[in-house]
């Protein structure tokens, strides 16, 4: 009877120690990937038959998974107010064409932060990745 009681006490102690270890286990911090973005503005002057146009293009870059560059929503703003959005291609490039000459002002391009959950195929462990947001320095058009 005493040996059974001692075995039960040892089992309860082992379970208590094991569950305390699980309760104090910390979550692994997500990996943060720096993101970069570029912006170039190309103007086509108006002619007799065309009102002119402007093309806003560049690329999103990151040293991380492809999802940090592909499919990112790019917002182009003039003097701080957004006026065009597009989505980056598989290689990170983006382009927007507007059928008007760009008005004078300061233009910027931005991408917002993106959170990715990635699962390892071999181990099945999940990994969290954060692709940081980015903005270009202002590009002045006169």
Domains of the chain, by residue range, sit at 31-141
Residue pair 2/9 in contact by the 8 Å Cβ criterion: no
Specify the pLDDT at position 104: 94
Specify the pLDDT at position 47: 86
Is the pLDDT score of 19 beyond 70?
no
Sequential DSSP letters for 42-66: EEE---SS---EEEEEEEEEESS-G
For the entire predicted model, the pTM comes to: 0.76
Work out the mean pLDDT of the chain and round it to a whole number: 87
42-69: pLDDT as tens digits: 999 888 888 899 999 999 999 988 999 9
Specify the pLDDT at position 125: 87
Specify the pLDDT at position 69: 95
Name the CATH superfamily, with its identifier, for domain 31-141: Immunoglobulins (2.60.40.10)
């Amino acid at each position: 009877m005493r040996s059974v009681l001692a075995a039960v006490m040892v089992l309860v102690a082992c379970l208590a120690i094991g569950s305390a270890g699980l309760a104090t286990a910390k979550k692994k911090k997500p990996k943060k990937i720096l993101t970069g973005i570029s912006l170039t503005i190309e103007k086509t002057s108006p002619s007799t038959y065309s009102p002119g146009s402007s093309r806003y293009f560049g690329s999103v870059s990151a040293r991380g998974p492809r999802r940090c560059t592909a499919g990112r929503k790019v917002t182009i703003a003039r003097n701080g107010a957004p006026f065009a959005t597009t989505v980056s291609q598989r290689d990170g490039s983006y382009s927007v064409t507007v059928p008007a000459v760009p008005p004078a002002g300061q233009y910027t391009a931005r991408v917002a932060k993106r959170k990715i959950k990635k699962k390892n195929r071999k181990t099945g462990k999940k990994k969290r990745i954060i692709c940081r947001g980015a903005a270009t320095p202002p590009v002045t058009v006169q």
